[in-house]
């Protein structure tokens, strides 16, 4: 399981190091500024679309985003089937599964109260 706050902090750090505003990133990716802010503060998981965009446009190393290990910038050509991109997809699925589990636990808790 990955820590959303740490992933969000790494994305924010990367964005700021490139002097990209949240508005700029939102416009580039089709998200709104609030979504970018929620992501950077660990309240929302990054989507594969966003991760792919950052990887392709800025050479952001997705393994670094997911784990904090290695270099922030990947000098290799982005390949959607590369290990870092596949790793990012797995991370995204793990995060989504964790969110689904929380929702199911809340629903079960409400059902049990009936």
pLDDT band of residue 1 (cuts 50, 70, 90) is very low
Is the pTM above the cut of 0.85? Answer: no
Q: Tell me which DSSP letter residue 60 carries.
A: B
Angle at 71 between CA 99 and CA 59, to 5 degrees: 80
Residue 7 pLDDT exceeds 90: yes
Q: How far apart are CA 109 and CA 33, in angstroms?
A: 33
Nearest Cα neighbor of 85 from 59, 51, 57, 58 is: 51
Can you give the pLDDT at residue 68?
A: 87
Q: Provide the domain count of the chain.
A: 1
Q: Print the domain residue range for 92.
A: 4-113
pLDDT digits (tens, 9 = 90+) for 22-64: 999 999 888 999 999 999 999 999 988 888 888 888 888 888 8
Domain CATH code at residue 9: 1.10.260.40
Q: Where do we find the tokens 């982005």? A: 78
Is residue 82 pLDDT above 70, yes or no?
no
């Amino acid at each position: 399981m990955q820590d959303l706050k740490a992933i969000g902090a790494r994305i924010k750090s990367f964005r700021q190091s490139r002097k990209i505003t949240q508005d700029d990133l939102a416009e580039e990716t089709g998200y709104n500024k609030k979504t970018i802010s929620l992501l950077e503060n660990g309240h929302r998981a990054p989507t594969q679309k966003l991760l792919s965009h950052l990887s392709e446009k800025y050479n952001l190393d997705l393994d670094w985003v997911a784990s904090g290990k290695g270099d922030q910038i990947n000098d290799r050509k982005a390949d959607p089937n590369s290990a870092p991109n596949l790793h990012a997809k797995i991370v995204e699925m793990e995060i989504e599964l964790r969110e689904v589990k929380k929702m199911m636990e809340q629903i079960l808790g409400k059902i049990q109260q009936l």
